Amino acid sequence: MLALAAVLLSGMAQGATPDAAFARDFGDDFLDRYWAHNTDAAVSVGYYKYADRLVVPDAAARRRYLAFLDASLKKLSAIDAKTLDAGHRTDWSILKSRFDQERWYLTVYRPWEWDPSDYNVADAFAKLSNTPYAPAEERLRAISGRLSNVPAYYAAARAAVKHPVREYTQLAIEQNTGALDVFGREFEAMVASSKLSARERTRLQSRVAAARTAIADYVDFLKRVDADQGADTRSFRIGSKLYEQKFALDIQSGESAAHLYERALVEKELLHTRMAELAGELWPKYMAAVPKPADRLEAVRAVIDKIAENHVARDQFVPSVKALMPRLERWVTDHGLLTLDPTRPLEVREMPPYQRGFSMANLQSSGPYDPTAQSWYNVSPLDAYTPGEAESFLREYNDYTMQVLSIHEGVPGHYVQLMYSNKSPSRIKAVFGNGATVEGWAVYSERMMMESGWGDNAPEMWLMYYKWYLRAVCNTILDYQVHTQALTERGAIDLLRREAFQSETEATGKWRRARLSAVQLATYFSGYAAIHDFRERLKQEQGAGFDLKRFHEQFLSYGSAPVGVIKELMRPR
């Protein structure tokens, strides 16, 4: 009797139900250990328990982290995912992908060796001094503790960097030089007005001085490495093999990069054909006096340039975005696309000054650990622009593309996805959300709105929507060709300018971004294509039984899980 009871009890303790075992092994305790290894990422999600700790990125830390990943993977594979309920099963898959991905970065991809911009302490210090999550003194003490490891941090960086990529070396020089600003005048004022004791203050100041020296030394070291290496630098192109592996691990769509690339090429041709038709249709209205060029792409560009003249006055930009949001919300509801939460309308506001200058609009969501749970659609006012800059900006975000932008960032794009994601109470989903799912949904939501007749099916609206969507398609082509096919700068600029109708500034910026990242530029089209394909297949399978609204709501109910995982959950085999 007793022996039997003991067996039963130990069975219970090991997790009588797989769901209980999963919740026990991968709950808040697990995340706490994860953050203890990743103290920078912890600060960025608003988990401040380890704010005073900076992990020194040396060989010992990499060994410790690898052991942590291996132990976590072992625990995870002890649980049979098929026996978990839907919520835990998604979390299980997200963690599995995450551990595999991080393991591969650490052991195969090894950016810690060839990407010197991997080493930069600025972000966490900036967030700790700018975010009033606690009284200034408490934050300054955390900063002081974190500062004590900065010299060791950069010593480890110098030891790790071997044969780096020149583009990343130069980026690291720029960014680390900028990092010194974090301890500039505002920080000094914060220290001066704080109630730190004289001893604390002196210690903090000497640590700031030591950190400044360490950062400056790292910059000097990188300049020397760059000069010594000369032309013998590691290529920024990662090659087909690594690209496919990275694509599989980062994107998790269940299809190969080569397949997506082929698809993007076909999509580009299709878009050119559609856009040429629309340009032909619009030519008499906008270009009547001008002879139509024989080159179809030139004709498209001419019409796009003309239509872009329809834009609001600079002081009307933010108000007109504000006025658009309730219209988008009503449309989504009236056309049965999704259920919106009427108690949570999207708040549009002027972008706070410290965020300006990077992008013209963003969706700012509260971090997973932020109790305020407030989100905003930030739109940059054009105050800082010269008349010329404002004009070029307003032409880019004209009456038509401004609508696509608000669909993408707001309703039914990022904001709605986030609203649904927040309803699933899983920290794992909030913390380890998949980038291709998030961006793919936003790109898909643009198409969904156009299909439902948004913009009265006006040819101008479709043409501008296609230009916008073509950017996502060409991002994929560019990224793939840069990393696996030795695309030259001239080839890249030609693709973006002539075939995607982009401005010089936009094209040059994109070429730079393609050399400083791999796979990220493919997330937009990849996520979109996976969602769109999946929807079309379900439509075919379910025929008259297919319900668009139900599809959208069910898809979003899995949070930001990888599309491949959501597909499996929505069509159990």
Q: Which residues bind Zn ion (CB under 5 A)?
A: 439, 442
- Length of the chain equals 573
Least Å from the CB of residue 439 to Zn ion: 5
* Rounded Cα distance, 551 and 557, in Å: 10
* Rounded Cα distance, 179 and 177, in Å: 5
User: In terms of DSSP H, where are the helices of 414-458?
Assistant: 414-423, 427-431, 435-451
Residue nearest to Zn ion (CB): 442
Mutual angle of helices 317-334 and 435-451, in 10-degree steps: 80
Specify burial of residue 546 (Cβ count, 10 A radius: 0-12, 13-18, 19+).
middle
Q: Kindly tell me which of 204 and 442 has the beta carbon lying closer to Zn ion.
A: 442
Q: Kindly tell me which of 92 and 397 has the beta carbon lying closer to Zn ion.
A: 397
Q: Kindly tell me which of 439 and 446 has the beta carbon lying closer to Zn ion.
A: 439
Q: Kindly tell me which of 204 and 449 has the beta carbon lying closer to Zn ion.
A: 449
Least Å from the CB of residue 323 to Zn ion: 20
Query: CA Rg, the chain, in Å?
Result: 26
Specify burial of residue 65 (Cβ count, 10 A radius: 0-12, 13-18, 19+).
middle
Q: Kindly tell me which of 120 and 434 has the beta carbon lying closer to Zn ion.
A: 434
Least Å from the CB of residue 467 to Zn ion: 16
Q: Are strands 376-379 and 348-350 parallel, antiparallel or unpaired?
A: parallel
Q: Kindly tell me which of 203 and 395 has the beta carbon lying closer to Zn ion.
A: 395
Q: Kindly tell me which of 38 and 406 has the beta carbon lying closer to Zn ion.
A: 406
Least Å from the CB of residue 8 to Zn ion: 51
Instruction: Please name which of 520, 528, 573 lies closest in space to residue 555, comparing C-alpha atoms.
Output: 528
- Both tokens of residue 312? 């609001």
Task: Determine contact, residues 357/378, Cβ cutoff 8 Å.
Answer: no
Q: Are strands 361-364 and 376-379 parallel, antiparallel or unpaired?
A: antiparallel
Least Å from the CB of residue 437 to Zn ion: 11
Specify burial of residue 45 (Cβ count, 10 A radius: 0-12, 13-18, 19+).
middle
3-class SS shares of the chain: helix, strand, coil, % to 5: 70, 0, 25
Q: Kindly tell me which of 399 and 499 has the beta carbon lying closer to Zn ion.
A: 399
Least Å from the CB of residue 398 to Zn ion: 9
Q: Kindly tell me which of 142 and 430 has the beta carbon lying closer to Zn ion.
A: 430
What is the sign, positive or negative, of the torsion defined by CA atoms of 471, 475, 476, 477?
positive
Least Å from the CB of residue 63 to Zn ion: 37
Q: Hey, is 350 helix, strand or coil? A: strand
Q: Kindly tell me which of 48 and 454 has the beta carbon lying closer to Zn ion.
A: 454
Least Å from the CB of residue 308 to Zn ion: 8
DSSP E strands: which ranges in 317-440? 348-350, 361-364, 376-379
Least Å from the CB of residue 295 to Zn ion: 26
Least Å from the CB of residue 318 to Zn ion: 17
DSSP-assigned letters across all residues of 525-556: HHHHHHHHHHHHHHHHHHGGG--HHHHHHHHH
